[in-house]
Structure 1
Amino acid sequence: MRPLLVLTLLAGVAAAGCTPLRSHQGYIVDADLVNAIQPGVDNRQSVLATLGTPSFAAQFNQGDWYYIARDSRNLAFNPPKPKEQLTLQISFDQAGNVTAVRKSGMDQVATIKPDSKTTPTLGRKRGFFQDLFGNIGTVGAPGAGAGGPSGRGPTGPN
């Protein structure tokens, strides 16, 4: 009876560790507020009062604000995968009036996969033990740059 109870508890803990985790990042979308923004009617102040501070403003075109919301899920130790994303772009003219409201979703998301985990370096490739033991005997050797100050200092030769 007791081993069965222990196995049941262990199975429950293991199963709980495999539940998917959901996360939300960015702007919390309220569809009614988003749909209330109208080109030609609203301006920067009214958009700020209605939607709040944007996720970010455009760097090169100062007339665009972006609100970004992303829902993602991950299972156990896997990296999170985006399931849904909304990008809301609001464009303003020079006077600060709304000229366009654009929405986009996951179709505009680019997935970038790095080539490798390490950056290649120029020159000799050294192994772990070469890095670890490579400097033995060079500390304090003539011409090695160690062993104290030498040459001309700010107050003259040493």
Structure 2
Amino acid sequence: MAERRVRTALERGARGLGLALALAAATGCTPLYRTHGFVPSQSELMMLEPGIDTRDSVTETLGQPTAGGVLDERGLYYVQSRFRTVGPFQPQEVERQIVAMAFDAEGILRNIERYGLEDGRAVPLERRVTDAGLRDTTFLRQLMGNLGNFDATRFIGDED
């Protein structure tokens, strides 16, 4: 009789262990999602008016952006990313939204653009622009544009 109780207890323990392992495997394969950053909603963006709002009024309405302009203060960027992690694998970015706002030299909002992540590329989802237009001049474009605009005599001296 005691032998039978021990066998029954071992069988229950084996079933419990098997169930625990199956549960651990199932939860280990369940994707976990994390969201980083902040992007204003469409209704929040509709409160802004290009040509009227300023840099200060935008940050007062929406809060501090994720990033500002790198070379000058003519842009604000709100960025939000969503990552999925499955088991022991590296997290993968499954969604990204970027709201880019451009300002003129006086700090007046000129346009609002929304971008998304699609096949690894930033794709415009929405664009609200005033008549001034957006100038997209990256550092690399400025550098390449200035390659032919120098005079060698400035470096070696003029021997007149």
TM bin, normalised by shorter chain, reads: 0.5 to 0.7
Tell me the C-alpha RMSD between the 2 structures. 1.8
| Partner residue in 2 for 1:93 | 104
1:40 matched to which residue of 2? 51
Residue of structure 1 in register with 2:64 after alignment: 53
Letter in 2 for 1:19: T
Q: How many residues align?
A: 110
The answer for unaligned runs of 5 or more in structure 1 is 111-158
Q: 1:32 aligns to what SS in structure 2?
A: helix
Q: Counterpart of 1:53 in structure 2: which amino acid?
A: Q
| Residues 1:28 and 1:103: Cα distance change in structure 2 (over 3 Å) | closer
> 1:107 & 1:8 partners in 2: Cα distance?
40
Partner of 1:14: 25
SS of the residue aligned with 1:106?
A: strand
Cα offsets for 1:82-135 (capped at 9, x unmatched): 11111111111122110010111114846xxxxxxxxxxxxxxxxxxxxxxxxx
Q: How does 1:1-158 map to 2 (within 5 A)?
A: 1-2=11-12, 3-107=14-118, 109=120
Structure 1 residues 78 and 35: alpha-carbon distance in aligned structure 2, compared to 1, 3 A threshold: farther
Structure 2: distance between partners of 1:4 and 1:29: 51
Deviation of 1:28 (Å): 4.6
CA shift at 1:5, angstroms? 2.2
Partner SS state of residue 51, structure 2: coil
Give distance in 1, aligned partners of 2:102 and 2:85: 34
Mapped to 2, the partners of 1:76 and 1:28 lie a distance apart of 28
Q: Which runs of 4+ in 1 moved over 3 A?
A: 107-110
TM-aligned CA distance change 1:88 to 1:108, over 3 Å: farther
Give identity over the alignment, percent: 27
C-alpha contact 1:29 1:69 (8 A) present in aligned 2: no
What amino acid maps onto 1:70 in structure 2? S
Deviation per CA, 1:32-76, whole angstroms, max 9, x where unpaired?
112322211211121011111111111123211111011111211
- Cα distance, 1:28–1:67 mapped onto 2, change above 3 Å: closer
Q: Aligned in 2, Cα 1:17/1:7: closer, same or farther, shift over 3 Å?
A: same
Alpha-carbon distance between aligned partners in 1 of 2:120 and 2:23, rounded to the nearest angstrom? 37
SS of residue paired to 1:86: strand
Q: Distance in 1 between matches of 2:78 and 2:60?
A: 14
For structure 2, the residue ranges without an aligned partner over 5 or more in a row are: 1-10, 122-160
The match for 1:146 is none
Q: CA deviation at 1:7?
A: 0.9
